[in-house]
A and B are shown apart, each in its own frame.
Chain A
Amino acid sequence: MRSSCVVHVLLGCLFIGFLSLIMGLGLNFLRASSLPLIPPFLFASYEKIDPVQAQELALERKVFLLDSRDHLQYKKAHLPRALNLPVKDFSALYPALAPLLPANGWIVIYGEGWGRPTEKELAYLFLQAGERRIKILDGGGRAWAEKDYPVESR
């Protein structure tokens, strides 16, 4: 009696899960603007730059630093002279930003270094927009902070 009860409950859970799978994926399939099942930025490859090299280039002002995190995190602390371009604001801000990009040199994008890989998402959007001079800061803001390189807050 007891074990059949457990099996009953677990089968019910499976049933609810299965129904949700069908509904979620089915409705997404029918939707005009469907969500890609795997985010496309995961399939692209990105060039990386390690923090030591990035810091040297930044001192010589040979790289353009872009912070891909949210504005609140940017305000708390960010790399010196980095500009903030949150992923969700890309389409709104890119037209204004494009003229500011340097004619030569790398654009280094960085994120938190843990959690959400915003730097990859932003780099993907840049690649889509036809901008190829993109590098990702390896280890993100965390690796930068661990090396005790300077940060700004504003």
Chain B
Amino acid sequence: MRMNRGVSASPWGRIYLLLQSPYLGAILRVILGALFVTASWDKILHPARFAEDVANYGILPPFLVNLFSLILPWIEMIAGLFLILGLLSQSSSLILSALLVSFIAAISINIARGARIDCGCFGAGEELGGIALLRDLVMLAMGVQVFFFDRGLFAVSSLLRKRGKQPHLPPG
């Protein structure tokens, strides 16, 4: 706390404090979760189309493409739901951040190749480009913030923890 007061004197320090805010963590957690749930929905419904998009990226070896296309949307869906609810928030944000790093790498490689392919990000018909890259970078920043600074405000996990601890509280 003492250190924080010192930091907050400068405008950069205030921004730093804001970034650490547990309220921001809770908001970003829900937004990131909702983004991934919406992104996964179309892929779960149309696995063949998503597999086509994954194959077009030309990064995974062909024998992994279909397995990846079947499992990845569910990772996005489950980790996204967990983030919204606030269950296993750190694990979920870690997984999603790792996924985002791999997406960023895959998108960058294909932009460098000059490939004109479908993004396969939020459903059909979006061409891969700088916007997708920028969006993933922003989402990665959100994931990192949630991982480090989310304190479980409005989260199911803190409710569970509170309930578990109640019998140990001293009376009164």
Q: Is there an interface contact between B58 and A24, defined as CB atoms closer than 8 Å?
A: no
**What is the interface of chain A mostly: helix, strand, loop, or mixed?**
helix
Residue of A nearest to B47 (CB): A35
Compute how far the CA of A9 lies from the CA of B54 in the bound complex, rounded to whole angstroms. Answer: 28
Q: Is there an interface contact between B78 and A20, defined as CB atoms closer than 8 Å?
A: yes
Tell me if B55 counts as interface (CB < 8 A to partner A): yes
Interface-facing stretch out of B2-10, B17-25, B26-34, B68-76: B68-76
Interface residues of A in 1-47 (CB under 8 A from B): 8-13, 15-17, 19-21, 23-25, 27-28, 31, 33, 35-39, 41-42
Q: Is there an interface contact between A73 and B75, defined as CB atoms closer than 8 Å?
A: no
Q: Is there an interface contact between A24 and B91, defined as CB atoms closer than 8 Å?
A: no
Q: Is there an interface contact between A42 and B69, defined as CB atoms closer than 8 Å?
A: no
Interface string of A85-122 (1 = CB under 8 A from B): 00010000000000000000000000010111100100
Question: Which of chain A's residues have a CB closer than 8 A to the CB of B48?
Answer: 33, 35
Interchain nearest-CB distance for B108 vs A (Å):
15
Tell me if B85 counts as interface (CB < 8 A to partner A): no
Interchain nearest-CB distance for A30 vs B (Å):
12
Compute how far the CA of A31 lies from the CA of B70 in the bound complex, rounded to whole angstroms. Answer: 12
Q: Is there an interface contact between A28 and B70, defined as CB atoms closer than 8 Å?
A: yes
Question: Which of chain B's residues have a CB closer than 8 A to the CB of A114?
Answer: 58
Residue of A nearest to B110 (CB): A115
For chain A, the bracket of interface size reads 35 or more
Q: Is there an interface contact between B74 and A42, defined as CB atoms closer than 8 Å?
A: no
Q: Is there an interface contact between B70 and A25, defined as CB atoms closer than 8 Å?
A: yes
Question: Which of chain A's residues have a CB closer than 8 A to the CB of B58?
Answer: 112, 114-116
Compute how far the CA of A39 lies from the CA of B115 in the bound complex, rounded to whole angstroms. Answer: 23
Question: Which of chain B's residues have a CB closer than 8 A to the CB of A38?
Answer: 63, 66-67
Tell me if A129 counts as interface (CB < 8 A to partner B): no
Tell me if A72 counts as interface (CB < 8 A to partner B): yes
Interface string of B75-103 (1 = CB under 8 A from A): 10111001000001011101100000000
Tell me if B44 counts as interface (CB < 8 A to partner A): yes
With known contacts A16-B95, A17-B95, A88-B52, A39–B70 Cβ distance under 8 A: no
Interchain nearest-CB distance for B86 vs A (Å):
13
Compute how far the CA of A114 lies from the CA of B115 in the bound complex, rounded to whole angstroms. Answer: 12
Of the listed residues B47, B72, B74, B95, the one surrounded by the most CB atoms of chain A closer than 10 A to its CB is B74
Tell me if B167 counts as interface (CB < 8 A to partner A): no
Instruction: List, sorted by A's number, 26 A–B pairs whose CB atoms are closer than 8 Å.
Output: A8-B90, A8-B91, A9-B90, A10-B91, A12-B90, A12-B92, A16-B75, A16-B82, A16-B88, A16-B92, A19-B74, A20-B74, A20-B75, A21-B71, A24-B72, A25-B70, A35-B47, A35-B51, A35-B66, A37-B66, A39-B66, A41-B62, A42-B62, A70-B117, A115-B57, A117-B62
List 7 tightest A-B contacts by C-beta distance, closest first: A115-B58, A12-B91, A20-B74, A24-B71, A24-B70, A12-B88, A20-B75
